[in-house]
């Protein structure tokens, strides 16, 4: 059962990874296609009058917007990257360099006063390019962040499952040892019955074994199993304190191997 669950988990992980890669490739091509269409539109279908009075105002707006967006990017995202690590399919350093190139270009156009329409078209492209890269970076960053959280949850679930099975296995071995001692030593059975331990012990073991049918363990389940395990362990310790009580070699070997 455990092997089949592990195999299903590996298959699901591979399927999710393939879907994530396909989705990221699709996002890249869609944004690249949109940006390419914009470049061709500006180059072949849009004419910018070289003597328009608003050209310098447009460049000033691009310069201010680029500077503002870069500042927001540095304030907002760099702090997140410092905590979460490098996520996203584009390095945040590349985004910063691209915005710096755009800012310097707009500043150069403002200072030089060029009136060639291709210069202003290049300015528009150099503004839209960093915007598209930043958007793509943000999208892939959020995708990587969600994937990391899913992997963390999956790892926590695997750890909880392993801990649960170990508790159940150890408690079952101790319960079998208690049963053996009950059969070989009547005083053990009398002690358990006199203190009303037997019924509670049977119920706890039955409840623990029922957890073998569970696919996902919650923190409250682990707490319950730990409580039942400690109860069985305490009962075995009480039994071993009786005179002439010795644990079996098989149980001793199993305990030593677990340790």
Per-residue pLDDT, averaged over 115-131, amounts to 83
218 SS3 class: coil
pLDDT at 213 over 90: no
In terms of pLDDT, which residue wins out, 89 or 65?
Answer: 65
**Sequence-separated contacts (24+) of 209-215 with Cβ below 8 Å:** 209/168, 209/172, 211/164, 211/168, 212/1, 212/165, 212/168, 214/164, 215/5
| pLDDT computed for residue 120 by the predictor | 83
Find out whether 179 and 237 touch, Cβ atoms under 8 Å.
no
Whether the per-residue pLDDT at 255 is higher than 70: the answer is no
Q: What are phi and psi of 194, to 5 degrees?
A: -65, -35
Instruction: State both tokens at 191.
Output: 């002690």
Whole-model pTM: value is: 0.60
Whether the per-residue pLDDT at 1 is higher than 50: the answer is: no
């Amino acid at each position: 059962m455990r092997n089949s669950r592990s195999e299903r988990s590996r298959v699901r992980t591979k399927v999710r990874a393939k879907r994530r890669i396909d989705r990221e490739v699709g996002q890249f091509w869609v944004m690249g296609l949109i940006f390419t269409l914009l470049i061709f539109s500006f180059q072949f279908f849009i004419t910018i009058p070289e003597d328009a009075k608003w050209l310098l105002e447009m460049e000033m707006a691009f310069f201010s917007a680029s500077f503002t967006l870069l500042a927001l990017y540095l304030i907002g995202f760099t702090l997140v990257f410092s905590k979460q690590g490098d996520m996203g399919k584009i390095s945040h350093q590349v985004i910063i360099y691209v915005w710096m190139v755009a800012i310097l270009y707009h500043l150069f156009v403002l200072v030089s006063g060029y009136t060639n329409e291709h210069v202003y078209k290049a300015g528009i492209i150099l503004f839209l390019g960093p915007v598209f890269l930043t958007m793509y970076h943000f999208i892939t960053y959020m995708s990587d962040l969600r994937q990391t959280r899913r992997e963390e949850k999956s790892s926590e679930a695997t750890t909880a499952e392993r801990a649960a099975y170990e508790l159940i296995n150890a408690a079952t071995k101790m319960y079998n040892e208690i049963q053996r001692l009950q059969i070989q030593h009547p005083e053990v059975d009398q002690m358990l019955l006199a203190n009303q331990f037997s019924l509670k012990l049977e119920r706890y073991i039955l409840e623990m074994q029922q957890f073998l049918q569970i696919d996902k363990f919650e923190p409250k389940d682990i707490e319950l199993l730990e409580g039942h395990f400690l109860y069985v362990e305490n009962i075995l310790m009480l039994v071993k304190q009786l005179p002439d009580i010795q644990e079996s070699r098989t149980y001793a070997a199993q305990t030593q191997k677990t340790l």
